[in-house]
Amino acid sequence: MPVKDFQGRILILDYGSQYTQLIARRVREAHVYCEIHPFYMSLEAIRAFRARGIILSGGPSSVYEKDAPLNSADLFRLGIPTLGICYGMQLMAHVLGGKVAGSTKREYGRSELFIDNEEDLFAGLDGGKAIQAWMSHGDRIEAAPEGFQVIAHSPNSPVSAIRHPGLRAYGVQFHPEVVHTPLGREILQNFLFRICQCPPDWTMESLVIKTIQYLKEEIGKEKVICGLSGGVDSSVVAVLLHRAVGSQLTSIFVDNGLLRKDEARKVKEVFGFNLGLDLRVVDAGDLFLEKLAGVVDPEQKRKII
């Protein structure tokens, strides 16, 4: 099913963070579709992805290192809301004219974060009060780029979060995706729902509905044959096809003579009788056993089967 069928799509650009997959997990737990791509994804490909928002992951590099993973400032002028996390925030500040420098004291572990602005990204959080946040960085932003507002600070990072309302660009020095930032989910969901306006439509229910509609449009009035083994993959495909095109589907189950006791009977009972599929069972046990006779190499057996 095409990605375009999901109205809210988030693009995650990866800069080598150990937490990139965790960012994706948090987005998906909020029922928003997302994909991870390498940081060097072209601007043309980013436009074609039609994301509602972009998240820049953290990473182990410094923006001043040779061959550091960087993007051009044009990334932030696409009109797509962007959230930079840790290195992603430093990259944003660096390419847009801010000042990033090494800190005299590396900040790693839990830290107190003070919210200076409760709008959009930090909506619903207590402004002026300290919340717990997980830091993991050596460099820090000493001066935000022109047009950016500082919206949070910590004892070691006077610029711990920034935003540019015009560019719809946001950055956080901490990691909202980890459990050590207790309010991290709320912050990420503020980005997804308040800023990017993503509908929470990436659910199993919506996936089934959209997939069935897609199959109906693709198949039309054609006939369909589906090989059904009784395993998870082919079973899901067969049931979705049956819901989409009904009697246009013929499913074929091959009994190769090597199945578990009563497996063929149970498959026929479940899919033919209970679910109403047009299921044809082919008894090919003799053929398979004939081809396997005398074969002792396991790999060769696998290929024959």
3-state secondary structure the chain: CCHHHCCCEEEEEECCCCCHHHHHHHHHHCCCEEEEEECCCCHHHHHHHCCCEEEECCCCCCCCCCCCCCCCHHHHHCCCCEEEECHHHHHHHHHCCCEEEEEEEEEEEEEEEEECCCCHHHCCCCCCCEEEEEEEEEEEEEECCCCCEEEEECCCCCCCEEEECCCCEEEECCCCCCCCCCCHHHHHHHHHHHHCCCCCCCCHHHHHHHHHHHHHHHHCCCCEEEECCCCHHHHHHHHHHHHHHHHHEEEEEEECCCCCCCHHHHHHHHHHHHCCCCEEEEECHHHHHHHHCCCCCHHHHHHHC
Instruction: Based on the residue annotation, tell me whether 175 is a catalytic residue of this protein.
Output: yes
Query: Which listed residue (164, 177, 226, 242) is catalytic?
Result: 177
Of 86, 196, 198, 226, catalytic: 86
> Does the active-site annotation cover 37?
no
Give me the catalytic one of 94, 137, 164, 175.
175
Q: Can 177 be counted among the known catalytic residues?
A: yes
Q: What positions carry a catalytic annotation?
A: 86, 175, 177
